[in-house]
Amino acid sequence: MADRHSLAIHWAVRAAIRSLALAFTLYAQTPAAPLRFEVASVKLNRESEVYSGGRPNLTGRPHISGLRVDFQSVTMRSMLAMAYALDPRQIVAPDWVNKSAEEYSIQAVMPAGTTPKDIPEMIKGLLAERFYLLAHRTEADQSAYALVVSKKGAKLRSAREVNESACSDAWQEGYGGNICRIEQTIGDQVVKTQILQDTPNGPILMRFTPQERHTEYYRITMPKLATLLSGMLAPLPPGFRFAFGPHAPYTAVVDRTGISGEWNVAVDQDPTEGASFSSINASLEKYGLLLERTTVPAGKVVIDRIDRLPTAN
């Protein structure tokens, strides 16, 4: 009798252990709850609201104060790019998203313990909850350019420092720590010059005229040059306002030079439509570089569903 009682206890203990193990396994496999704003108000802007107070909103960036996040005006295209940390051209969305100039205002509160770096994930949750967002990721080859060394070989100039003598009284705080802006009238045209120090790409000098944009990089690597050329050849779509969040670069140019180190490179760009590529390539040829057509794999997000209007607050 005692043996039967002991055996019953044994099997009961084994069953309890199995139940605990199963519960722990299910708990471990349960995905963490997605990040959500604590409170969020979303509405479609009317023109009178966008320009309220006599000052138009010129940026899709949010104003962040403590845990409060306010977007005065942001497009759906910007929100999607922000949510997935991608360039907007990597978002395959319905036509109304790409063509619409509609903008939304958002007032939200982040949960305690979160930081601004969590905002893109919370924007994704907001779009799913209030606009019924459904999406999936995919990858496909896309047309691109490769930055390569020409058959004549590279003729790069060693990195050097920018001449700041003309900016003794023109420095002000801005992008890259300090920025100098100078405007001169030469002949019958206005020439605008900017010098930027301590940018992620080293010192940069930019000179603008109606006929040309001259950009000189004083300590640039080839991978960074390729990324910057990408922006020149594939500017952001009309109406897109670069919004908050760490966007992955849209790859229009990839570095295949095999050249390391930092260099001094100047690029002249003709702003005339259709002439930008030829003027950039002519600049690169001076350094024994050129751009060649190629294809690269690119990640994309396909929007399967997104409503135009948010659910009621």
The one-character DSSP state at 166 is G
Confidence of residue 136 (pLDDT cuts 50, 70, 90): very high
Average pLDDT value for residue range 205-210: 87
Give the rounded percent of residues in the chain with a pLDDT score beyond 70: 74
Residue with tokens 């020149």: 232
What is the maximum span of the chain, computed from C-alpha positions, in angstroms?
Answer: 113
288 against 33, higher pLDDT: 288
Q: How far is CA 215 from CA 12, 38, 40, 97, in A?
A: 78, 45, 43, 33
107/163 same-domain check: no
236 against 230, higher pLDDT: 230
Which residues are paired to 217 by β-bridges? 204, 265
Confidence of residue 15 (pLDDT cuts 50, 70, 90): low
pTM of the model: 0.62
pLDDT per residue over 88-135, tens digit each?
888 999 999 988 778 899 999 999 999 888 999 999 999 999 999 999
135/252 same-domain check: no
Assigned domain for 103 exists: yes
Distance separating alpha carbons of residues 116 and 124, to the nearest angstrom: 14
Tell which of 72, 104, 139 closes a domain: 139
Distance separating alpha carbons of residues 85 and 107, to the nearest angstrom: 21
Q: What is the pLDDT of residue 245?
A: 46
Q: Inform me whether the pLDDT recorded for 55 exceeds 80.
A: no
pLDDT per residue over 278-308, tens digit each?
999 999 999 999 999 999 888 899 999 999 9
Q: What is the pLDDT of residue 142?
A: 85
Give the SS3 label for residue 251: coil
Average pLDDT value for residue range 33-40: 84
Assigned domain for 20 exists: no
Check residue 122 and give left, alpha or beta (phi > 0: left; psi -120 to 50: alpha): alpha
For 268-289, give one letter per residue: b (16+ CB within 10 A) or e.
ebbeeeeebeebbbebbeebbb
204/121 same-domain check: no
Overall size of the chain counted in residues? 313
Q: Inform me whether the pLDDT recorded for 80 exceeds 60.
A: yes
162/134 same-domain check: no
287/155 same-domain check: yes
Assigned domain for 150 exists: yes
Confidence of residue 224 (pLDDT cuts 50, 70, 90): very high
Token pair recorded at residue 24: 């722990």
Assigned domain for 219 exists: yes
157/255 same-domain check: yes
Helix (H) or strand (E) holding 285: helix 276-285
168/116 same-domain check: no
Mean per-residue pLDDT of the chain: 81
Average pLDDT value for residue range 198-203: 84
Q: Say how many CA atoms lie within 13 Å of 103 toward its Cβ.
A: 23
187/93 same-domain check: no
- Among 170-174, 262-266, 293-297, the minimum mean pLDDT is found in 170-174
Tell which of 139, 163, 187 closes a domain: 139
Average pLDDT value for residue range 73-93: 89
Q: What is the pLDDT of residue 243?
A: 46
Helix (H) or strand (E) holding 49: helix 47-50
Q: Inform me whether the pLDDT recorded for 178 exceeds 60.
A: yes
149/293 same-domain check: yes
Q: Inform me whether the pLDDT recorded for 48 exceeds 60.
A: no
Residue 279 lies in domain: 143-299
Tell which of 85, 114, 139 closes a domain: 139
218/94 same-domain check: no
Assigned domain for 129 exists: yes
Split into its structural domains, the chain has a count of 2
pLDDT per residue over 61-73, tens digit each?
788 889 999 988 8
57/194 same-domain check: no
Assigned domain for 31 exists: no
Q: What is the pLDDT of residue 270?
A: 87
Distance separating alpha carbons of residues 68 and 110, to the nearest angstrom: 6
Q: What is the pLDDT of residue 170?
A: 62
119/195 same-domain check: no
Average pLDDT value for residue range 137-160: 92
Assigned domain for 30 exists: no
For the chain, what is the radius of gyration of the CA atoms?
A: 27
Decide: 250 and 89 in contact? Cβ < 8 Å.
yes
Assigned domain for 165 exists: yes
DSSP 85-148: TS-GGGEE--HHHHH---EEEEEEEPPTT--GGGHHHHHHHHHHHHH--EEEEEEEEEEEEEEE
Confidence of residue 192 (pLDDT cuts 50, 70, 90): confident
